[in-house]
Structure 1
Amino acid sequence: MENNGDEKRIDEVLSSPILLAERILVSVDEAATFHAECTEVRNQVDSINCMLRSAVRFAGTMYERPVRRIAADVSKNLKRSLTLVRKCRRRNILRRVFTIVTQADFRKIQNLLDASIGDMKWLLSIFDYDGGGGGIVLSLPPIASNDPILAWVWSFVASLHLGQLSDRIEAATELASLAEDNDRNKNIIAEEGGVLPLLKLLNYAYSPGAQIAAATALFNLANNQERVRLIADELGISIMVKVLGDSPMRVQIRVANLVARMAEYDPVVKEGFGRENVIRPLVMRLSFEAYIGDPKPPLGKQSIQSFVQINNEIKRNLNSNHIHHLSSPLSSYSDGSSRGGNHRGERENESPEVKHKLKISCAEALWMLASGSVSNSRMITETKGLLCLAKLIEKEPGELQFNCLMAIMEITSAAESDAELRQAAFKTNSLAAKAVVNQLLWVVKELDIPSLQLPAIKSIGSLARTFPSRETRVIGPLVQRLSHTNQDVATEAAIALGKFACPENFLHLEHSKTIIEFDGVPPLMRLLRSGERMQFRALILLCYLAMHAGDSEALEEARVWMALEGADHAVASQHPVLKELVPKAIDHLRMYRAEVHPHR
């Protein structure tokens, strides 16, 4: 929001009111009437002129937004003053009649000039660091008397540009507080050029306090797409990646939160983070101390040997990634020394609470980055992020566990839509895939917490096309969840099983039979008596079972054909998908009944 090619240079902006002031001083000498009033105007204009010339001294380094606004207002008042003073020159009788000047006119002009003097004094006060002034000024210039927020933002941003470090930290903290209040304040901060100096302060690696203050202010600003795009356009993405690479953990927490919020609000910025390789430092931060200790099999079926194998692979890959990291153009993101010094030892000595908060923030950032993005999801799998997420689901209950599950849910959703990612990341012999599936099944079976079961069930459903027919251990827990007291869990289980039994799944015949073998028909029949969404999903799954395993006695005993015929006109009429599926399912069941019971 600073000077651009279409705007005059700041010295040109200041030269215009200076020239006006000089012309007023000349015109005062030519005045033939109202000598006392013109003399007062001369004194006011002379004061303004001196302050304008003082402002020119700061032209090369000053924060321009308030200068341009105040200079424009001063010029307007000086023009009106010049017009009035010129009316006081010697004229003939006729012109004097038609150009009547009163003392009231001078009072108005003097009030305007007083306001300009107040504006200029305030402006110089926020820039005069060499003279012992400068810093945050909370007094209000006349130009902002009706909008104090504007003056405060000008003062804070000027301090960010020119102040000492303590002033810059205080200014960033104040801007964060203003931005937290309402969206109008956020817009003023963005429009008045507050983003760029905040990013510069975030990039100041020698002061964690400064970085935290800047990250907090940027986080409070980044809650809509326009402001998120503005932060990214000021090269904010590359700065955040650098700070994530080498800074104290408490700084990394704030920056990871900022990455998550920006990725949430703008899909373009989300992809930009991926291109700048933000995922690698996030995974490295997430994996810090994540694989110490003996792993325990979550389901009682995974051998200790296999978990040791997984852990060894994780360590190998993290080490190789770290070596590549140090030799890449992004070497400043490493865990070693950098612009701000060596923080590795400091991170190792951090409290467990801080380390845990960092993992929570990094997991949330990965969740937001993976959401709706195949490319970012692929990068997470390529950095062995899946293994790390799976291990944390096992070890870390609470918010971290939830964030990891949500990240996996988004990654598996991307894999469902992209065959290349699905085949690369979720091969049946992949240790990462096995670890993820084991943890998802553990959550579904052992944790009766709907907020955790929902993303786990969705993830299994997204991976439906990756499971071989012999992998029946996945279907059983889903069938059990059809009877869950929480309607959302039961509905998601029906949706996930529908992905196993749908025609797009190559093994739909085998999976349909497995669902019936696990006694999935009775709970589905009960779901038909529930809410419309549950009815809809239960009907779809029953249709698939009827079409692909219509010769099952379980379908006959449950009188599924009667339920489908009853739904033919009721629910089916409201859903185009069922209009096609229900008649097909009924036809399959009728054919089977005709073969088994020809007398009917």
Structure 2
Amino acid sequence: MGSEESIEEELSFLILLADRVRKSVEEAKSFKNECFEVGKQVDCLLRMLRSTVCLTTSSSSLYERPIRRIVSEVSKNLEQALTLVRRCKRSGILGRVVTISSATVFRKLFPLLDNSVVDMKWLLSVYDVVESNNGGGGGGIVLSLPPIASNDPILSWVWSFTAVIQTSSSLIDRIEAANQLALLAADNDRNKKIIVEEGGVPPLLKLLKEGVSAESQVAASTALANLATDQEWVRQIVAELGVLIIVQVLWDSPMLVQTSVANLVSRMAENDSDAQEEFARENAIRPLVSLLLSDTLLLDEPKPPQSGKPTTLQSLVLLGVNSHEYPRTLHQHNVHLNSSLPSEDSSRGGNHKKERENEKPEVKLQLKIKCAEALWLLSRGSLSNSQRITETKGLLCLAKYIEKEQGGLQFNCLMTVMEIAGAAELNADLRRAAFNTNSPAAKVVVDQMLRIIQEEDTPSMQIPAIKVIGSLARAFRARDTRVHGPLVTLVTQLDHRNLDVATEAVIALGKFACPENFLCVQHSNAIIEFGGVSALVRLLRVSERAQLHGLILLCYLALHMGNSEALDWSKSLSALEGAARAPVSQHPLLRELIPKAIYQLDLYHEEDHPHRQSYGS
């Protein structure tokens, strides 16, 4: 029997096999009592197999995994029984020889057939519960342990829970089963592996998609989020068209559901870059951005400013989100994506909008926190998602919350901006489109980053803000020197608590002064004028990482401003000469930079020390 056979075909073969065993039992010449016992067990199996056939033909959405596993085991045991019983048809000398071995085999066969009987009873009990629920009864979830799962109780639990989610009409039982799968998945990775391998993902996605109740959708999305902790398992969700279903639910669901689903998006994006791009293709960014402003703006009913130009942050975001066509209802959203999907009642959006207005503030806040986290993890290392956020003017939305909020929402928005700026650093088109110096978004973002750098004293906030400024180094004009001072100050205020902050500030300054920056000379001059050299020399004595990046920046300053009177020549030269003898000088970049920087300093200041031999000679 191949795995490609239908369950009905497998059961039909098994019934035929059991009939052959019964016929051989009737023809037995020896071990008649033992064969009679085999016949009784096979009769019991036959009745249950026929009941299973009725079950499979009457159900349109059957969970087949436990049926196939148990049927496969029953098939092995019946084939063994058939081989043994057929031996008992022989008589004479050959029959007596066979008798010697058959007695032992019968003793081994009986427990196997007993196990098959118990497995089949367990299987029918699981589906009897489901059928009872479908008929309006209700029998709960079967948690007994069949012999086939005696060495692995989790397997029978997963089968039972998944069968209920897949086929039961009792919503209470389906919710409970989904919650139980979520608990199992949260317990350890082995449980996750079993749930995925035993086909638990499709029923959970089905429960999420149906939207029968908010509680059922939260239970399903929580279970899926607990499964989505490994790339392989995330890809199972993607392979079952899970991304499309998730985006559907994001567009139009109660707030608690959207919060839970946004968390699912975060877990999937965090653990698989392919899932990030799949979310990009299904445009998951738009509902997430719109939900960030769901309590202040009705994004599907835009009201542009009367003047024709955006005058506030909210109006700018509003125009940005609506400057591209996007669906206003779940049905419209899905028409062009998958015509086979069932349409939804367009009035649902209005109902949920009313529900959102009456939600508690803490529920609204949690939704925004999870949406911001999803945007962060979707944009991490993803150019396509970063572009989509900027296309919706999401930068302005993020900047608003960085300015006004605290805690998780502020942090997630900051991390999202950091990822977008990181993508812009590597992509000139995105940098020009999103961070043009005349762009309101760019101005707001830079203002907020500088505020955090200067006012915050928490490294977890300062470091992302510094990275944003560094990533945007090539977007700043020569006259915009307001960014250099705060960064140099962080290096100057070096102590044991902010070493990472100071080092990150040096890395950012290095991006201003590096030769790839067209305005590197002007930026280098500004860094020196703010007292950056003395701060750098001090930083070089602290740690290997700080020394590496400090030396790189110092070399850039010497190369670009070697003739500057503001450059502390003696301190810089001493630091570089000392570094040339240190292990750090073997770094590929420094191996080339340090000799050039020393030569440049010697070249412009040789007259101050006429007896000094040039490093380059």
Worse-matched range after superposition: 32-41 or 235-244: 32-41
Query: Within 5 Å, which residues of 2 pair with 1:48-63?
Result: 48-60=45-57, 61=59, 62-63=62-63
Worse-matched range after superposition: 307-316 or 507-516: 307-316
Tell me whether 1:312 sits opposite 2:315 in the alignment: yes
What letter corresponds to residue 488 of structure 2 in structure 1?
V
Give, in angstroms, the shift of residue 315 of structure 1.
3.0
Query: Within 5 Å, which residues of 2 pair with 1:401-550?
Result: 401-483=410-492, 484-485=494-495, 486-550=498-562
Distance 1:329 1:336 in 2: 10
Give, in angstroms, the shift of residue 329 of structure 1.
4.5
Distance 1:279 1:573 in 2: 45
What letter corresponds to residue 8 of structure 1 in structure 2?
E
Residues 98 and 320 (structure 1), Cα distance of their counterparts in 2 relative to 1, 3 Å cut: closer
Contact 2:248 2:334 in 1 (8 A): no
Secondary structure class of the residue paired with 1:473: helix
Distance 2:326 2:41 in 1: 68
Distance 1:418 1:179 in 2: 39
Give, in angstroms, the shift of residue 560 of structure 1.
0.9
Give the match for residue 304 of structure 2: none
Secondary structure class of the residue paired with 1:136: coil
Contact 2:331 2:345 in 1 (8 A): no
Structure 2 unpaired stretches of 5+: 299-308, 338-342, 613-617
Distance 2:481 2:423 in 1: 24
Tell me whether 1:26 sits opposite 2:23 in the alignment: yes
Give, in angstroms, the shift of residue 331 of structure 1.
6.4
1:227 to 229, 233, 236: 233
Distance 1:391 1:30 in 2: 86
Distance 1:134 1:92 in 2: 55
Superposed CA deviations along residues 404-459 of structure 1, whole A, max 9, x for unmatched, are: 11111110000000001001111110001111111101100111111100000000
Contact 1:335 1:343 in 2 (8 A): no
Residues 265 and 146 (structure 1), Cα distance of their counterparts in 2 relative to 1, 3 Å cut: same
Secondary structure class of the residue paired with 1:353: helix
Give, in angstroms, the shift of residue 207 of structure 1.
0.6
Distance 1:336 1:360 in 2: 28
What letter corresponds to residue 510 of structure 2 in structure 1?
G
Give the match for residue 340 of structure 2: none
Give the match for residue 381 of structure 2: 372
Worse-matched range after superposition: 109-118 or 498-507: 109-118
Distance 1:558 1:442 in 2: 34
Give, in angstroms, the shift of residue 587 of structure 1.
1.2
Give the match for residue 80 of structure 1: 80
Residues 558 and 490 (structure 1), Cα distance of their counterparts in 2 relative to 1, 3 Å cut: farther
Give, in angstroms, the shift of residue 395 of structure 1.
0.8
Superposed CA deviations along residues 28-71 of structure 1, whole A, max 9, x for unmatched, are: 21122333332222111111001001101122432111111111
Secondary structure class of the residue paired with 1:57: helix
Give, in angstroms, the shift of residue 105 of structure 1.
3.7
Give the match for residue 138 of structure 1: 143
What letter corresponds to residue 26 of structure 2 in structure 1?
D
Residues 469 and 503 (structure 1), Cα distance of their counterparts in 2 relative to 1, 3 Å cut: same
Residues 471 and 321 (structure 1), Cα distance of their counterparts in 2 relative to 1, 3 Å cut: same
Give the match for residue 116 of structure 1: 116
Query: Within 5 Å, which residues of 2 pair with 1:117-516?
Result: 117-128=117-128, 129-130=130-131, 135-163=140-168, 164-289=170-295, 308-320=311-323, 325=328, 329-330=332-333, 337=346, 342-483=351-492, 484-485=494-495, 486-516=498-528
Contact 1:205 1:340 in 2 (8 A): no
Contact 1:206 1:339 in 2 (8 A): no
Give, in angstroms, the shift of residue 365 of structure 1.
0.7
Superposed CA deviations along residues 183-241 of structure 1, whole A, max 9, x for unmatched, are: 11111100000000000111122311000000111011111111000100100000000
What letter corresponds to residue 57 of structure 1 in structure 2?
C
Distance 2:334 2:27 in 1: 70
Residues 462 and 290 (structure 1), Cα distance of their counterparts in 2 relative to 1, 3 Å cut: farther
1:562 to 547, 569, 574: 574
Superposed CA deviations along residues 100-134 of structure 1, whole A, max 9, x for unmatched, are: 36655433322221111100011111112435576
Give the match for residue 71 of structure 2: 71
Count of residues in correspondence between the two structures: 584
Secondary structure class of the residue paired with 1:559: helix
What letter corresponds to residue 578 of structure 1 in structure 2?
L
Give the match for residue 301 of structure 1: none
Give, in angstroms, the shift of residue 340 of structure 1.
8.2
Superposed CA deviations along residues 240-268 of structure 1, whole A, max 9, x for unmatched, are: 00111111111111111111111111111
Secondary structure class of the residue paired with 1:330: helix
Query: Within 5 Å, which residues of 2 pair with 1:583-598?
Result: 583-595=595-607
Residues 318 and 94 (structure 1), Cα distance of their counterparts in 2 relative to 1, 3 Å cut: closer
Superposed CA deviations along residues 475-528 of structure 1, whole A, max 9, x for unmatched, are: 111111112431100000000000111111111111111111111111111001
Contact 1:481 1:489 in 2 (8 A): yes
Worse-matched range after superposition: 109-118 or 552-561: 552-561
Contact 2:251 2:329 in 1 (8 A): no
Give the match for residue 303 of structure 2: none
Residues 336 and 427 (structure 1), Cα distance of their counterparts in 2 relative to 1, 3 Å cut: farther
What letter corresponds to residue 79 of structure 1 in structure 2?
E
What letter corresponds to residue 85 of structure 2 in structure 1?
V
Distance 2:487 2:11 in 1: 73
Superposed CA deviations along residues 379-425 of structure 1, whole A, max 9, x for unmatched, are: 00001110000000011111111111111111000000000100111
Contact 1:521 1:558 in 2 (8 A): no
What letter corresponds to residue 146 of structure 2 in structure 1?
P
Contact 2:87 2:98 in 1 (8 A): no
What letter corresponds to residue 141 of structure 2 in structure 1?
I
Distance 1:335 1:562 in 2: 73
Give the match for residue 93 of structure 1: 93
Secondary structure class of the residue paired with 1:100: helix
What letter corresponds to residue 29 of structure 1 in structure 2?
E
Residues 560 and 130 (structure 1), Cα distance of their counterparts in 2 relative to 1, 3 Å cut: closer
Give, in angstroms, the shift of residue 336 of structure 1.
9.5
What letter corresponds to residue 531 of structure 1 in structure 2?
S
Share of identical aligned residues, percent? 60
Contact 1:135 1:159 in 2 (8 A): no
Distance 1:354 1:528 in 2: 48
Contact 2:8 2:53 in 1 (8 A): yes
Report the RMSD for the aligned CA atoms in angstroms: 2.5
What letter corresponds to residue 351 of structure 2 in structure 1?
N
Contact 2:288 2:371 in 1 (8 A): yes
Tell me whether 1:35 sits opposite 2:32 in the alignment: yes
Distance 2:141 2:499 in 1: 56
Give the match for residue 305 of structure 2: none
Distance 1:80 1:458 in 2: 69
Contact 2:201 2:224 in 1 (8 A): yes
Residues 563 and 412 (structure 1), Cα distance of their counterparts in 2 relative to 1, 3 Å cut: same
Distance 2:197 2:539 in 1: 54
What letter corresponds to residue 253 of structure 1 in structure 2?
T
Residues 323 and 184 (structure 1), Cα distance of their counterparts in 2 relative to 1, 3 Å cut: closer
Q: TM-score, normalised by structure 1?
A: 0.92
Contact 2:533 2:568 in 1 (8 A): no
Contact 1:270 1:369 in 2 (8 A): yes
Secondary structure class of the residue paired with 2:370: helix
Give, in angstroms, the shift of residue 557 of structure 1.
5.4
Contact 2:536 2:550 in 1 (8 A): yes
Contact 2:313 2:397 in 1 (8 A): no
Distance 1:101 1:374 in 2: 71
